[in-house]
Amino acid sequence: MVIRRGAFVIKRMPGFTLVALACFFALYMPLAPLVVYSFNEGNNIALWEGLSLRWYREAWDNELVQSAAIRSLVVATVASVIATVLATMVALGTTRTRPYRGQTTIYALVNQPLIVPEIVTAVALLILFAMIKQATDYHGYAYLISAHTAFCIPFAYLPIRARLEGMDRVLETAAADLYATPWQAFKRVTLPLLLPGIFAGAMLAFVISLDDVVITEFVKSAGQDTLPTYMLGQLRRTITPEINAISTVLLTVSVIMVTLIFFLSRKKAK
């Protein structure tokens, strides 16, 4: 016991915990005014005029902003799921392999959406999709979802690739030696090991899609405003606390989800 007291904790790095906690604090601090102003009586996001639920009522009555919020969530979910699946496949095809012709091209293509400013992709997509829309008379969500999926791929790809690069082949080789089919080896060995990377990638893709404004603005068809494009339209006039109210609701939903996951995983652990 006496020895334990001054025990040398291997994982400890001096100051790291402090920086990490400060970082979490900094991540959440700006949310305080955001939430506070959602209860503002006045119609401004930086000028306090008294406590009221006015903007929650307005958001509740405003079909436009509600459908925009739901649309944002659905598009982000669908696009990030597809992007993560595709990104996992590319990552498996481009890491831990002997170099092959075309590998660099694949790498460049996958990362390309990161590099081009959004407005450029947006204008190019506008022109391309407008031609398709005129030819097919289809105005649905496939355009938005394919555009979002495309720019989400690199965000999902890089964490997954980083994870894969650090993974040893030994276990998979062992599985193969035990006559596992490649699919079995993947499902039982690679995938579970890869999961943290996939999880991180999917979450990045989700928030990136949720935030996109410029590409959405140019690609959307009639009646397809998302929360960010709805807000962009407000930028020149006044941004009202209605958006704060909606954001607060979204935050609450996400916090509830995290809490649920926490308790579910605890149950499992037991």
Partner 1 sequence: MATDNLEALAYKKEVKRNWLLSTPALIVLVCAASGPLLIMVLFSFLTPGDYGGVKWKWSTEAWFQVAFYKDIFDDTVTIADAHLSILWRSVRLSFLTTLTAFLLGFPTAYFIATRPPETRNIWLFLVTIPFWTNLLIRTFAILEIIRNHGVINSFLLAVGAIDQPLDMLFTDIAILLGMTYVYIPLMILPIYASMERFDFRLVEAAYDLYASRWRVLRKIILPLVKPGVIAGSILVFIPSLGAYVTPRVLGGGKNLMLGNLIELQFGQGRNWPLGAALSLTLLAIVMIALIFYVRSAQKDGGGHGH
Partner 2 sequence: MKVAQKSLLAGVLLSMSSIALAAGQLNLYNWGNYTNPKLIEKFEKETGIKVTITDYDSNETALAKVRAGGHGFDLAVPSHSHLPIWVSEGLLANPRVDQMPNFKNVADEWRNPDWDPGRQYSAPWQWGSVGIMVDTSVYNGDINTFGIVLDPPQELVGKINVAPEMNDVITSAILYLGGEACTGDKQLLRKVRDKLVEAKPKWKSMDYGVIEKFAGRDLAASLYWNGAAFRARLKNPDVRYGYPREGYSLWADAVVLLKDAKNVEEAKTFMNFIMAPENAGLISEFARYANSIVGSEKYMPEDMATAPEVIIPKEFIGFGKFYPTCPPDVQKMYTAIWTELQK
Q: Could you say which residues in the range 184-223 bind partner 2, by CB under 8 A? A: 217-218, 220-223
Question: Cβ–Cβ contacts within 10 Å for residue 243, how many?
Answer: 22
Which residue of 1, 7, 26, 222 would you call a contact of partner 1, by CB under 8 A? 26
Nearest to 36 by CA among 55, 18, 22: 55
66 binds, options partner 1, partner 2, none, Cβ within 5 to 8 A by partner type: none
Q: Could you say which residues in the range 109-128 bind partner 2, by CB under 8 A? A: 123, 126-127
Q: Could you say which residues in the range 174-193 bind partner 1, by CB under 8 A? A: 193
Residue with the two structure tokens 């980083």: 162
Question: For partner 2, what does the binding mask look like between residues 126 and 145, x meaning CB under 8 A?
Answer: xx-xxxxxx----xxx----
Question: Per rule CB under 8 A, is residue 146 in the interface with partner 2?
Answer: no
Cβ(167)–Cβ(194) below 8 Å:
yes
Cβ(153)–Cβ(113) below 8 Å:
yes
Question: Per rule CB under 8 A, is residue 78 in the interface with partner 1?
Answer: no
Of 95 and 146, the one with the shorter C-beta distance to partner 2 is 146
CA 83/CA 111 separation, integer angstroms:
13
Nearest to 247 by CA among 32, 82, 79, 48: 32
Q: Could you say which residues in the range 88-117 bind partner 1, by CB under 8 A? A: 89-90, 92-94, 96-104, 106-117
Shortest Å distance, C-beta 249 to partner 2: 18
Percent of the chain as helix, strand, coil, to the nearest 5:
75, 0, 25
Nearest to 221 by CA among 34, 71, 43: 71
**Measured between alpha carbons, how far is residue 164 from residues 95, 103, 201 in Å?**
7, 16, 12
Shortest Å distance, C-beta 91 to partner 2: 24
Shortest Å distance, C-beta 40 to partner 1: 12
Task: Kindly indicate which of the ranges 54-62, 133-141, 148-156 contains the residues binding partner 1, using the contact rule CB under 8 A.
Answer: 148-156
Question: Per rule CB under 8 A, is residue 34 in the interface with partner 2?
Answer: no
Question: Per rule CB under 8 A, is residue 17 in the interface with partner 2?
Answer: no
Of 19 and 64, the one with the shorter C-beta distance to partner 1 is 19
Of 17 and 238, the one with the shorter C-beta distance to partner 2 is 238
Question: Per rule CB under 8 A, is residue 97 in the interface with partner 2?
Answer: no
CA 18/CA 51 separation, integer angstroms:
35
| Residues in CB range of 225: below 8 A, 6 or more apart | 64, 67, 68, 71, 233
Which stretches of the chain bind partner 2, using CB under 8 A?
42, 44-47, 61-62, 64, 71, 74, 77-78, 123, 126-127, 129-134, 139-141, 217-218, 220-225, 229-240
